Amino acid sequence: MAAQAPRDPRGGPPQDTVRSLLAELWRDKLQPSRPGSGRETLTGRIIHGALFLTATLSAFVTIGIVLVLIFETVEFFREVPFIDFFGSTKWSALFAEKQFGVWALVWGTGMIALIGLAVAIPLGLMAAVFLSEYSPPRVRAIIKPILEILAGVPTVVFGYFALVSVSPVIRDIFGEDVGIYNALSAGIVVGLMIVPIIASLSEDAMRAVPRSLREGAYALGSTRMEVSLRVVLPAAFSGVVASIILAASRAVGETMAVTIAGGGNPQFGVNPLEAVQTMTAMIVQLSLGDTPTTSIEFKVLFAVAMTLFVLTLAMNIVAQWVSQRFREEYE
Amino acid sequence: MSAAAPSAQLSAFAPRVRIRRGASVAFMVAALLAIAISMIMLGALIVEIAVDGAARLFTDGGAVDREARGGGIISDLPTPAGMGWMTWAVPVAILFPFVGPRLVNALVPGLPRLAERAMGFIVVAPAAIFVHILYVRFESAYFVEYAKAVGIDGASGNIFQVLGEASGFQIVRLLLAGILVPLAIFAAGWFWSHRMRKPSLIIPAIMIAGWVVYLFMDPWFLSSFPSRKPAEAGIFSAVTGTLYMMVITAAVAFPLGVGAAIYLEEYARRNWFSRMIQVNISNLAGVPSIIYGLLGLQVFVRVLEFERSVLAGACTMALLVMPIIIVSAQEALRTVPPSMREAAYAVGATRWQVIRFHVLPYAFGGMLTGNILAMSRAIGETAPLIAIGALTFIAFLADSPTDDFTVLPIQIFNWVARPQSGFHEIAASAIIVLMVILLLMNAAAIIMRQRTRTDW
Amino acid sequence: MARNFFTLMRSSAPGATAAAEPDRATAPPPPPNVKQDDAGGGVHLDPTLAAVRHEITEAVDMALQLRNVSAFYGTFQAIDRMTMPIPQNRVTALIGPSGCGKSTLLRCFNRMNDLIPGARMEGEIEFEGRNLLDPNIDAVEVRRRIGMVFQKPNPFPKSIYENVAFGARINGYSGDMDRLVEDALRRAALWDEVKDELDKSGLALSGGQQQRLCIARAIAVQPEIILMDEPASALDPVATLKIEDLMRELAEHYTIVVVTHNMQQAGRVSDYTAFLLAGEERVGRLVEFGPTQEIFTNPLDQRTEDYITGRYG
């Protein structure tokens, strides 16, 4: 029997009683190792294959997104010339006379993202500096979870907040001419939404700066602010910039709050007190109506989504590149 | 020049320590202010929603004619056709893998494990079906009973009035849904392993607390379907749709995400392929959610012909949250010390045995935590479901995964988007419900994280 | 700066004799615990505190004068009532086994311990007639006047030039910055190696160069005292030698306090040596202080001798 061969290669009885007992217990129980069966058992190989498939699924998701977007986008550009889409700032997809100037939507998106960043960068960075450089551990243990709560609030709730709380305040300040739907209130809540991203990621980058650098600066007679702003912040610069880009990307892709509070008016104006429409809000607007899948409105949905996808993807890649390329290596 | 005495240049220094100290303190105050502003805004958000929405949760809008609606509190609980199956299916599904084989093992010791499991199923499944038949009989009897009963009147219908007027069947049903299900879950945890004994208290406790809150509140809002009149509208279909979708999303996303994480951490070599997958996952996490909606619209709704169903929504959501699950599962796997793997390999375990019996049990708590956090992201997502066309006016309960559905955030969006302030108020009420669910999930995640940390 | 000739070096250790100088009258009154030492005569005094102090024979100013300095981290006491002087323009070495409080003591001198939550210091460190440990003394000002070089080189992730100029900038230096940078780098014996690449990142230098850059950085703010916490422990022998030479040169202009666990290094570079030791309860105490020559050739305490001859771990 094949199993007996490896059991006792020397042929003679084992000297040690324990060993002989073990050998007795294992007699005929050891699985014969089949030559050429490979490193893994059959089950192992099946599981390996299944796990491999789950891992490749994420690649297929990306491919799926790209294919789906490209397919309908190509269809769209068959009917509408390229120049009408990228060469115009007028958007009126739902009217009889259709115009597809995507810049109106990109502008609306950019405006709200800029307002959001104007709110979030000072708040987020200051919060990060405080948490990483000033706050005692106990205070930090309280503030961080609260910021995480802020990050976990669904965006539709922020939309409600913008409409019911922020807009009335803006109307109180700027007068009744301001509409209840305006870019400013949407931008403010988007900013609030991305504060935790900037604060949390920047704080991580700042805490990664070695303590010895801080001590070096303190030993030269720096105050805490000088250490924070002139040593820690520059040393963590790549992480901070990456966090801001990621937050901007989130603001660009943000949908519900800007749909609810931004109004549905695609336009190319500079006044933040007027209603605007972002790319995401437009997609929601077109999705809500029962758009026939063969209509041009349905196809333009994907052309806009493609623009949005490329924009956010580029921002994410830049963020990754910044954090890799400009990271300081300590030891 | 190098020989210059140190004091030669001293006069050039003007340390101005006091000014710099002041600036530093001012800076700290400014930073605190920044945090305070964020917190105040969060506080304002919570207060606004609580003020707007609380009233509607605890009273009806004053416009509901209870007699005309023909119902008391209990009639609005899940019906057998809708959610009733959950009452028995959930505990059975949880119990059978643990109780069944043990039962068989106790009766006929020494069978191979596979046989034990199979026979366990054979033992438990008929029991489950029997329980279900009993349950449905209770339900129908209850309906016959209820038809004769008079609806509850009065300003508020809370538990005491219900118990005062409820029939025996009603009370049985309350007990069944409110106590037996949590108890079954608790029992399952108790039998699972000694480590699960205390944590298995958590979910039943939350469930019982939920029932109690549910029963004390005016149930109209939670148990009514959407309506054109704000005072009569409720979130029953939205809440059940959300729960339904979450269950399917978790069932799809968790195995896929964990599988991918296991592959990347335990199997993949560090080559261009695994690097590409890794970069791809982090990029997927940054794709706007609405684009997942369009993907779901084309792939699940149109190509695979799921229609605008719970299943299509859940699959879309699963893809959306998968990167989160993968990354958190990878982190959990990385916490397993290499020595543990080596020890298992050293006694001759195969790779899968090492993973199955040593790595996974160690990392499971962390994975589960990540899963809950991913679900709490999914529960608040609105945009992808709008894109795939989840409806907002659903006056029935989803009974199978292919039914139309709505979820809480979509219902909220629908109400917020209307001009009448009455709808804004009930939107706030729905937001409270959503936030409470979110809070419970996060609390569960935190507790689980702490438990798994202390256990090991 | 007040001239306080510090000559009293008597302790209650058996075998040591009191050496009262005739000009004692002009010296400041001895610190309280010294009096206690004298009065105690080793009878009712805490024996763990009884440090041997050799006589300082040369006439030298004292840059710092420690009196009963203790340090605590939370409830843990790291060092216990140390009393000793730090002579000016000399290199003083703090030696002792790991965990004896050398670094903690060093970090008291420029109040770096303030940065550690829960850290607390007691006693008195006299510097120019004022107590450094007084909470009313600004730690930021203290740290400019008492510079520090760390165990591992920690240049900022900036250019070499900016590394050196940083301290001067924050301290409001209004003179010629280029000259200051050059001067500091020359004194740190680094100028010739980096003068053509001042824009290069400080992190791009070798370990030894980085450490000399850190010394240049410390010198650039014109401190009176430079504290060095095992400055050569992370360096190779050649770089170590350079740092040691540098320390000897710097001692002409600066008071240097160096922590080292390397006996030979202490012997090579220092003029004075303090031997610290932690007992069972891990509280660091001063055992013996004196001219390095004396400590190494003629230790008065058995434990010092054991340590110097390598009988301690």
Give the pLDDT confidence of B251-309 residue by residue, as tens digits. 889 999 999 999 998 888 888 888 889 989 988 988 999 999 999 888 888 888 777 78
What does each C-alpha distance from C276 to A9, B300, B438 come to in angstroms?
64, 75, 58
Q: Give me the percent of chain C exceeding a pLDDT of 90.
A: 15
Number of domains present in the structure of chain B: 2
Which residue in C115, C144, C203 is closest to A220 by CB distance? C144
Whether chain B has a CB inside 8 Å of the CB on C285: the answer is no
Is pLDDT above 60 for B412? yes
pLDDT band at B210 (very low <50, low <70, confident <90, very high): low
A263, A104 contact by CB (below 8 A) = no
List, as one string, the DSSP characters of B277-331.
HHHHHHHHHTS-HHHHHHHHIIIIIIIS---SBHHHHHHHHHHHHHHHHHHHHHH
Q: What is the mean pLDDT of chain B?
A: 72
| Predicted confidence (pLDDT) per residue in A146-174, tens digit | 888 888 889 999 999 998 888 888 888 88
Using a CB-CB cut-off of 8 Å, the residues of chain A touching C227 are 219
Question: Which stretch of B99-103, B186-190, B230-234, C18-22 has the lowest confidence by average pLDDT?
Answer: C18-22
Using a CB-CB cut-off of 8 Å, the residues of chain C touching A217 are 156, 166
Same domain, B277 and B395: yes
| Predicted confidence (pLDDT) per residue in A131-140, tens digit | 999 888 888 8
What does each C-alpha distance from B363 to B332, B345, B352, B368, C143 come to in angstroms?
5, 18, 15, 9, 47
Q: Looking at chain C, which residue has its C-alpha nearest residue B3? A: C187
Using a CB-CB cut-off of 8 Å, the residues of chain C touching B19 are none
Same domain, B115 and B259: no
8 Å CB contact of A62 and B283: yes
Is pLDDT above 90 for B200? no
- Interface mutation target, options B21, B32, B38, B280, chain A, most CBs of A under 10 Å: B38
Q: Looking at chain B, which residue has its C-alpha nearest residue A315? A: B286
Shortest distance, CA C4 to any CA of chain B (angstroms): 21
Same domain, B328 and B186: no
Whether chain B has a CB inside 8 Å of the CB on C19: the answer is no
Residue corresponding to tokens 């623009």: A307
Structure-block tokens of residue A95: 């009217």
**CB-based burial label for C233 (10 Å; 0-12, 13-18, 19+):** middle
pLDDT band at B121 (very low <50, low <70, confident <90, very high): low
8 Å CB contact of B16 and C172: yes
Partner chains of A (3+ C-beta pairs under 8 Å): B, C
Using a CB-CB cut-off of 8 Å, the residues of chain B touching C251 are none
Shortest distance, CA A165 to any CA of chain B (angstroms): 7
Q: Is the dihedral of CA A11, A13, A19, A24 positive or negative?
A: positive
Report how far residue B332's alpha carbon sits from residue B329's, in angstroms, rounded to the nearest whole number. Answer: 5
Whether chain B has a CB inside 8 Å of the CB on C218: the answer is no
Which residue in B322, B350, B431 is closest to A44 by CB distance? B350
CB atoms within 10 A of CB C123: 20
Question: Which stretch of A3-7, B388-392, B433-437, C304-308 has the lowest confidence by average pLDDT?
Answer: A3-7
Shortest distance, CA B268 to any CA of chain A (angstroms): 8
Specify the 3-state DSSP secondary structure of B151: coil
Q: List residues of C whose CB lies inside 8 A of any A CB.
A: 110, 112, 115, 117, 140-145, 147-148, 150, 152, 154-158, 166-167, 170-171, 203, 214, 217-218, 221, 227
Q: Which CATH number does the domain housing residue B302 bear?
A: 1.10.3720.10
8 Å CB contact of A156 and B412: yes
Structure-block tokens of residue C114: 């303030």
The rounded radius of gyration (Å) of the Cα atoms in chain A is 30
Same domain, B321 and B433: yes
**Domains in chain C and their CATH numbers?**
22-40+49-308 (3.40.50.300)
Winning range, highest mean pLDDT, from A85-89, B4-8, B56-60, C273-277: C273-277
Using a CB-CB cut-off of 8 Å, the residues of chain B touching C172 are 13-16
Same domain, B247 and B112: no
Report how far residue B324's alpha carbon sits from residue B418's, in angstroms, rounded to the nearest whole number. Answer: 33
B-facing residues of A in 285-314 (CB < 8 A) are: 287-288, 290, 293, 301-302, 305, 308-309, 312-313
Report how far residue A72's alpha carbon sits from residue A296's, in angstroms, rounded to the nearest whole number. Answer: 10
Q: Write down the pLDDT at residue B88.
A: 56
Shortest distance, CA B451 to any CA of chain C (angstroms): 29
Whether chain C has a CB inside 8 Å of the CB on B20: the answer is yes
Partner chains of C (3+ C-beta pairs under 8 Å): A, B
Is pLDDT above 60 for B124? yes
8 Å CB contact of C253 and B14: no
Q: Write down the pLDDT at residue B138.
A: 54
Using a CB-CB cut-off of 8 Å, the residues of chain C touching B20 are 140, 170
8 Å CB contact of C218 and A220: yes
Query: Residue B284: which of A248, A239, A63 has the closest Cα?
Result: A63
Is pLDDT above 80 for B373? yes
Query: Residue A243: which of A188, A190, A203, A191 has the closest Cα?
Result: A203
Residue corresponding to tokens 């609806």: B151
Same domain, B285 and B377: yes
Q: Looking at chain B, which residue has its C-alpha nearest residue A314? A: B283
Same domain, B442 and B306: yes
Specify the 3-state DSSP secondary structure of B49: helix
Is pLDDT above 90 for A66? yes
Report the pLDDT averaged over residues A293-315.
87
Kindly provide the ipTM of the predicted complex, given to two decimals. 0.83
A280, A183 contact by CB (below 8 A) = no
Report how far residue A250's alpha carbon sits from residue A257's, in angstroms, rounded to the nearest whole number. Answer: 12
Report the pLDDT averaged over residues A13-20.
64
Using a CB-CB cut-off of 8 Å, the residues of chain B touching A259 are 413
Report how far residue B256's alpha carbon sits from residue B67's, in angstroms, rounded to the nearest whole number. Answer: 49
Range of the domain at B317: 236-455
Query: Residue B267: which of B322, B363, B325, B333 has the closest Cα?
Result: B333
B252, B318 contact by CB (below 8 A) = yes
8 Å CB contact of A235 and C156: yes
Using a CB-CB cut-off of 8 Å, the residues of chain B touching A302 are 294
Q: Write down the pLDDT at residue B256.
A: 92
Residue type, B382: T
- DSSP letter for B56, please: H
Which residue in A137, A231, A329 is closest to C156 by CB distance? A231
Shortest distance, CA A223 to any CA of chain C (angstroms): 6
Same domain, B358 and B247: yes
Residue B48 resides in a domain: no
CATH code, A91-325: 1.10.3720.10
Residue B389 resides in a domain: yes
Whether chain C has a CB inside 8 Å of the CB on A222: the answer is yes
- For β-strands C76-87 and C62-73, DSSP reports them as antiparallel
Q: Is the dihedral of CA C143, C145, C150, C153 positive or negative?
A: positive
8 Å CB contact of A221 and C155: no
Whether chain C has a CB inside 8 Å of the CB on A135: the answer is no
| Domain coordinates in residue numbering, chain A | 38-79, 91-325
Residue B58 resides in a domain: no
Which residue in A219, A235, A329 is closest to C112 by CB distance? A219
Specify the 3-state DSSP secondary structure of B196: helix
Same domain, B427 and B348: yes
8 Å CB contact of A220 and C157: no
Which residue in B38, B297, B298 is closest to A150 by CB distance? B38
C51, C285 contact by CB (below 8 A) = yes
Shortest distance, CA B179 to any CA of chain A (angstroms): 31
8 Å CB contact of A58 and B280: yes
Using a CB-CB cut-off of 8 Å, the residues of chain C touching A327 are none
Whether chain B has a CB inside 8 Å of the CB on A17: the answer is no
| Predicted confidence (pLDDT) per residue in A112-133, tens digit | 999 999 999 999 999 999 999 9
Structure-block tokens of residue C252: 């002409």
Whether chain C has a CB inside 8 Å of the CB on B7: the answer is yes
The set of long-range contacts for A139-147, using a CB threshold of 8 Å and a minimum separation of 24, is: A143/B35, A144/A200, A146/B39, A146/B42, A147/A195, A147/A196, A147/A199, A147/A200, A147/B38
| Predicted TM-score of the model (pTM) | 0.76
Report how far residue B235's alpha carbon sits from residue B221's, in angstroms, rounded to the nearest whole number. Answer: 6
Same domain, B147 and B282: no
Whether chain C has a CB inside 8 Å of the CB on A215: the answer is yes
Structure-block tokens of residue B326: 């993968």
Q: pLDDT digit of tens for each residue in chain C (313 aa)?
A: 333 333 333 333 333 333 333 443 444 444 444 433 443 333 333 445 567 777 777 888 888 888 889 999 888 888 888 888 899 999 999 998 888 888 899 989 988 888 888 888 889 999 888 888 888 888 888 888 899 999 888 888 889 999 999 988 888 888 888 999 998 998 888 998 998 999 988 888 988 899 999 999 998 888 889 999 988 888 888 888 888 999 998 898 899 999 988 888 888 899 999 998 887 788 888 888 889 988 888 888 888 888 888 766 5
Is pLDDT above 70 for B96? no
Which residue in B262, B383, B389 is closest to A255 by CB distance? B383
8 Å CB contact of A212 and C143: no
Residue B9 resides in a domain: no
List, as one string, the DSSP characters of chain C.
-----------S-TT------GGGGGSPPPPHHHHHHHHHTTSSS-GGG--EE----S---EEEEEEEEEEEETTEEEEEEEEEEEETTSEEEEE-STTSSHHHHHHHHTTGGGGSTTEEEEEEEEETTEETT-TTS-HHHHHHHEEEE-SS----SSBHHHHHHHHHHHTT--S-HHHHHHHHHHHTT-HHHHTT-TTSBGGGS-HHHHHHHHHHHHHTT--SEEEEESTTTTS-HHHHHHHHHHHHHHTTTSEEEEE-S-HHHHHHH-SEEEEEEE-TT--EEEEEEEEHHHHHHS-SSHHHHHHHTT---
8 Å CB contact of A221 and C117: no
Q: Write down the pLDDT at residue B130.
A: 63
Same domain, B326 and B390: yes
Which residue in C117, C142, C154 is closest to A212 by CB distance? C154
Q: How far apart are the first and last CA of chain A?
A: 59
Q: Write down the pLDDT at residue B186.
A: 73
Same domain, B257 and B209: no
Whether chain C has a CB inside 8 Å of the CB on B21: the answer is yes
